[in-house]
Amino acid sequence: MNNIDNELLKSIVSRLNNRYPDYLLKDGKWLIGGYESLFKIDYQEKDDPYLPKIKMEVFMMLPKEMREEIISMVT
């Protein structure tokens, strides 16, 4: 679940923005960069030098419902 492609990343962020906008305004204020802050770019030397990864330390702080939805989108 840790490595995802750019299109999937965009899809996940878009879906979270559409489904959980209130979370960012209330309980999720600590996500300063919005749902995009769930991801980091791992710079690699192979064919795809920019491989997005989920920041597990941030992911685990999300409500269970949101974590389950993200898991369903990446598996």
Q: 48 Cβ partners below 8 Å, 6+ apart?
A: 5
Q: 4 Cβ partners below 8 Å, 6+ apart?
A: 12, 39, 52, 53, 54, 74
User: Confidence band (pLDDT; 50, 70, 90) for 67?
Assistant: very high
Task: State the Cα–Cα distance between residues 53 and 6, nearest whole angstrom.
Answer: 10
Q: Please determine, for residue 49, whether its predicted confidence score (pLDDT) is greater than 80.
A: no
Cα-Cα-Cα-Cα torsion 60, 19, 40, 8, nearest 10 degrees, comes to: 120
User: Confidence band (pLDDT; 50, 70, 90) for 74?
Assistant: confident
Write out pLDDT tens, residues 5-27: 778 888 999 999 999 999 999 99
What global pTM score does this model have? 0.77
Q: Phi first, then psi: what are they for 41, rounded to 5°? A: -100, 125
Q: Please determine, for residue 48, whether its predicted confidence score (pLDDT) is greater than 60.
A: no
